[in-house]
Amino acid sequence: MTRTAPELSAAAREVEEYVAAGGWDQPPQLFALVPTEHLLAEQPDLADRLDPATTLTPVAQDALEGDLAAALAGIMWPPAVAGCALVQEIVMLPPDAEAELPDTGDDAMGRVAAQHPQAREARLVAAVSREGATACVLRLRTVAEGELDEVVEHPSLAQNLTAALMDTFRE
């Protein structure tokens, strides 16, 4: 069973809204989730920019370059970081269409999937806490003018990705 926490879900939504304000076609972005109380104690000058009612504050990290799995494998967080969130744009296919894809490398398969007539672009936020809770937010990109993007939340939308993020908290 996947554990979730309201403060982690709120942080995942905040990260998605922040990234969404920048539009589509962005590279993967990583955020440290730091207790707001800790940030305010360490940097009181942030008091006018942080909401003290927010439990976790997302802090953008340097850009992730190269292979995402390799980049995540090299990350270790300091004790002050309570969680992290990764945002990436993905291509989604219905399960039957996904089964038809050729078994090639991830990059080649991604290009084939993106050209599939049933492909949907989406932005995925996967967030984890040091204690093992997960939260995921998925925004499906709108294809028709005037339509609103569909947003879906569920803690187990990206189990492989949340597992990789949890590994960044290994001791």
pLDDT tens column, 71-81: 998 999 999 99
| 1 occurs within a structural domain | no
Higher pLDDT, 170 or 109: 170
State pLDDT tens for residues 32-66: 999 999 999 999 898 888 887 889 999 999 888 88
State pLDDT tens for residues 104-158: 555 544 555 555 556 788 999 999 999 999 999 999 888 666 666 788 898 888 9
Give the pLDDT of residue 127. Answer: 97
Order of all β-strands in the sheet with 83-92: 56-60, 29-35, 83-92, 120-129, 134-140, 150-153
| 108 occurs within a structural domain | yes
Residue identified by tokens 């990705």 is: 161
Give the pLDDT of residue 138. Answer: 94
| 155 occurs within a structural domain | yes
| 80: helix, strand or coil | coil
| 102 occurs within a structural domain | yes
Give the pLDDT of residue 64. Answer: 86
Burial class (CB in 10 A: 0-12, 13-18, 19+), 105: exposed
| 42 occurs within a structural domain | yes
State how many domains the chain has: 1
pLDDT at 1 over 50: no
Sequential DSSP letters for 5-62: -HHHHHHHHHHHHHHHTT-SS---EEEEEEEHHHHHHH-GGGTTTS-TT-SEEEEE-P
Mean pLDDT over residues 90-103, rounded?
A: 66
Higher pLDDT, 152 or 98: 152
Whether the pTM exceeds 0.75: the reply is yes
Give the pLDDT of residue 92. Answer: 81
Domain that holds residue 139: 6-167
| 60 occurs within a structural domain | yes
Mean pLDDT over residues 22-41, rounded?
A: 93
